[in-house]
Structure 1
């Protein structure tokens, strides 16, 4: 379906059930607009949902350098996938009176920050977004079973790549390095992510231009 925010909000709201925690996932390639859509949904759900991004489980830069993976930051093995799955398990079964604290990713620091997002046990819906919610290798393979619905966001590749380059430039990369990073890293991830599209509950086409 094309992106119709009212319809998508309605579908997300249909997951809300009193006394039961549900999780909605938003997947898709880098730059497709996952985080924007997830944020719009949460804002429109008027306190019934909280956003917990997968990017909070990026490995720290120091660890990526130790592993020799700093130049492939964003690949599946550069996240704590098992930690993300464990958090989803906790979020599915909240303990009464216990706030769960989730990590977030600070783009200005390019690092995850622990304990950034409080998830109150009374909030009925958690929205999570990230590249690898539909990935089926390693610890990622268990993520889909912990999520009630996963939507896949796709966008025109030319517009998506252009937007990715501009994002990297805004966050401090020289343009030539930003273009190389998108070509050699982000697009390698995008091809991997696209393999999971067929497993999504809903595929959304998002226009990025304008």
Structure 2
């Protein structure tokens, strides 16, 4: 069985984690699998999704361990509108490289213990807010007023208190404002995957 490398990509909301992860998967094609921590959100009646307990992290860790052992896993399907996992699942098969992305990926000890390489995406808060405004207004059909209110009430306090700490755990810190193709080459070189 081919050894599995699990790469964590952390950073603030709107930093560019998903864009980077997808670019790596596209480059590595059939060798890589992307798992978003967002898949594991519980439905939060309070509406605050910016805290670690909002996610079923123990289930994600169990799935990562299953995939690392060479067995397929049934991952929850994410409901974009309601920001939570659904009762439906998607069967995924293990691949040599698994990318795990999310705001808490580099801050929760249980996740950190599963990672072989850790990347933190550093992006200015104004850029992140602008991206979140576009994303949440189109994907989650939310008003800009509600997005901005949530940003100041939940997103930024959590980022400053918890998410930013992930940078100190990272093996590599990259800029989320940098050209994605250049960033991709830097990462692939560090992982010795430039010829993949």
Q: TM-score, normalised by structure 2?
A: 0.82
Equivalent of 1:81, from 49, 54, 57? 57
Corresponding residue SS for 1:31 = coil
CA distance in 1, matches of 2:33, 2:177: 25
Task: Supply the RMSD in Å over aligned alpha carbons.
Answer: 2.0
| Residue 108 of structure 1: aligned partner | 81
CA distance in 2, matches of 1:108, 1:152: 27
Corresponding residue SS for 2:105 = coil
Whether 2:44 is the aligned partner of 1:71: answer no
| Residue 13 of structure 1: aligned partner | none
Q: TM-score, normalised by structure 1?
A: 0.77
| Residue 28 of structure 1: aligned partner | 11
Q: Any unmatched runs of 5+ in structure 1? A: 1-17
Q: Check the 8 A contact 2:67/2:93 in 1, yes or no.
A: no
* Cα 1:151/1:79, change in 2 over 3 Å: same
1:9-63 deviation digits (Å, cap 9, x = unpaired): xxxxxxxxx7111211111111101011101110110210011111111012xxx
| Residue 135 of structure 2: aligned partner | 167
Q: Check the 8 A contact 1:21/1:124 in 2, yes or no.
A: yes
